[in-house]
Amino acid sequence: MSEHSSFMEPITRENVAVVLVDHQVGLLSGVRDIPLGELKHNVVALARGATVLGIPLVVTTTAADSMWGPTAAELVQALPAGQEIIDRSTVNAWHDDRVREAIEATDRQKLVFAGVSLEVCAALPAISATAAGYGAYVAVDASGTFSQAKHEAGLLRMQQAGVIISDYATLMVEALADNAAPDAGALYAALDMPFAVLVGQISAAYLA
């Protein structure tokens, strides 16, 4: 399948995995291109949405005990029970055999990446995955970096390499595919989209 036709194929809950890279407290403290509360909200929603849809997660940190600290507590709480967090030393998560093998074990050909920083932790493995023949996407609003210049440079490099840029809610709603699906309500609740209001939730609140 050509690169173009690969990206024309939609994301589904059966063909995609989510890879969360280095949402660690030390790195998050330097994020300047998106409000920290918004970033945490978005990556938590991405993890919860993927879990609702049964989409596998691969989660990793860099030097959690020596440099960048643990994964943000809000994200840890949103992960499925028993979810492994792979700590590594490589800058590019794709270069860690355990991370790459965990991705391969999902048997999914499309990968949604999010990371801190955007231009390193999300971009580098997404570019490597693209080179390896995967369809790589980056949820830019579930990622963050340390300046607007880094944000723009990261986007440009990914686009030059063929990585698709999107946002957390669009990617998960695309995987849902049908609003009549039994888990649609649970997905929208997990996504907690601040830009949309579910009429059903409003009705339930009035009836409560």
CATH number at residue 50: 3.40.50.850
At 130, is the secondary structure helix, strand, or coil? helix
pLDDT in tens, 123-137: 999 999 999 999 999
DSSP character string of 16-78: EEEEEE--BHHHHTT--SS-HHHHHHHHHHHHHHHHHTT--EEEEEESTTTTS-SBPHHHHHH
The count of structural domains within the chain is 1
pLDDT in tens, 11-29: 999 999 999 999 999 999 9
Given a cut of 90, whether residue 77 has pLDDT beyond it is yes
The mean of the pLDDT values for the chain is 93
Please give the residue range of the domain that contains residue 196: 3-207
Given a cut of 90, whether residue 197 has pLDDT beyond it is no
For the residues 190-202, what does the mean pLDDT come to? 75
Percent above pLDDT 90 for the chain: 88
Q: Using CA atoms, how far apart are residues 145 and 42, in angstroms rounded to an integer?
A: 14
Which residues participate in catalysis according to the annotation?
A: 121
pLDDT of amino acid 196: 78
pLDDT of amino acid 195: 75
Given a cut of 70, whether residue 96 has pLDDT beyond it is yes
